[in-house]
Amino acid sequence: MEADKCIAQEDILVDIAHLLMLYRQKIIAADHAKALMRALLELQKNGVPDAAFDDRFEDIHAGLESLLVSSAGEDSGGRLHMGRSRNDEVAACIRIKLRNELLLQMELLIGLRDILLDLAGQHYDSAMPGFTHFQPAQPTTLAHYLLSYEQAFARDFERLSCAYTRINMSPLGSAAFASTGYPVDRDYTASILGFDGLVQNTMDAVASRDHVLEALADYSILMTTISRLCEELVVWSSPLIGFVTLDDSFCSTSSIMPQKKNPDTAEIMRGKAGSVLGAFTTAAVIVKGLPMSYNRDLQELNPHLWRAVRDVSASTGLLSAILKTSTFNREKMKEKAGEGFSTATDLADFFVRQYDMPFRKAHSIVARAVSLGSVTLESLDQAAGEFSETSLTGRGLTNEQLQAVLSVRGSIAARNHPGGPAPEATARAVRSSREHLIRDKDLLATRKQALSRAIEKMLKEAGRLV
């Protein structure tokens, strides 16, 4: 029953659509249809009362039917279930609820991407260290870093968008699994509920939950990305690193240590990633051994689905708020960007271009100089003597050249290729991502309008009936 609360309003919409179809197909008489529709529209307007969730009912579908019998009379109330089963009814409710949740999640992702692009636009020139193996690697910019996550979240949007096309298909008319002997019109109920088409095979329509697994898999991937970003916010906010200051509203203090500022919200969201992945794993295990067609095990899947949906939407909204209110320490990032010999690769590349040296030899020379503790003309000449019996200063290397090559600003500026960290490259990337974001906004608006118009049209038709 607790899980059924998530689909109670959707069940009413499914009932209205089914009743309109029964009336249109002359399966139910006008007086019974009107009595039932009055009761359904009352529930649709005022919400499902607590009485429908009483434990004496097997599920919400039985609870609603009991309310309809009480409101419309036993003779009328008991006729709504003609030509259907709870199997196709609940399958339709889940798809309607899940498609709406997907659209909400896509909207939250658009908001998150918008914030990341805004921040990237403020930090084209904000140098910072890049990491591999969480060791200083090469200098980059904060804009480049933020754009990497925006691109990942754009892919999450695309995955959810593709999942939507498979979720927004109607199982109604499948009944228990073998369809029904009544002259139902499956296309009609699909259309008025805003579905894009039918799940054609009636056994597949009620027995399969791969669309739920797909959504949960996509949510798991999304939460994994959120968790990675949260991990970095946790680490970066430590005074030991000090790259970012999180707003107090997303942090807490210690019960014993008054100086502490703990990044609790980001930590909890890391944990939620595990919960969502657990929901996917649980759902997959529930489904994996089920024979065709419907099995009661599927009822156990629903609580995990709705918990995951709730956790992901909450986390995405919170992450947007955290990023929007965070302060990045540009000076600290700039200070650290050149540490750890982060521009050593640029020096090796310079030797390749300047002296026609094989890259592996240039790599070895620079690596040896680093192991000597400093990258100077003296250490480079010593390393070059060990590997090639040559003198780099003898070949024209000057201290001015060395300092220019090892410059953080120069290193970043040289990487002006598509997707690189140079300010010009990140500015182009922001413009391109903005265009992509606008297209995604338009797609989302089109889908939301289509569903809204379909449901509005259905409710008007229901109003005309009564």
Annotated catalytic sites, by residue? 133, 254
Q: φ and ψ at 407, to 5 degrees? A: -65, 130
SS3 344: helix
Residue 220 in contact with residue 276, Cβ under 8 Å? yes
DSSP string for 277-320: HHHHHHHHHHHHTPPSS--TTHHHHHHHHHHHHHHHHHHHHHHH
Q: What angle do CA 7, 222, 267 make, to 5 degrees?
A: 100
SS3 181: coil
> Residue 127: beta bridge partners?
141
The residues, any chain, with a CB within 8 Å of residue 159's CB and separated by 6 or more, are 218, 221, 222
Backbone angle region of 423, left / alpha / beta, with phi > 0 → left and psi within -120 to 50 → alpha: alpha
Residue with tokens 């997959």: 284
SS3 44: helix
Rounded to the nearest 10 degrees, the angle between the axes of helix 210-236 and helix 264-288 is: 160
Residue 90 in contact with residue 294, Cβ under 8 Å? no
Peptide bond into 293 cis (omega under 30): yes
CA–centroid distance for 260 within its chain: 32
For 306-335, letters b (16+ CB in 10 Å) and e give bbbbebbbebbebbbbbbeebebbbeebbe
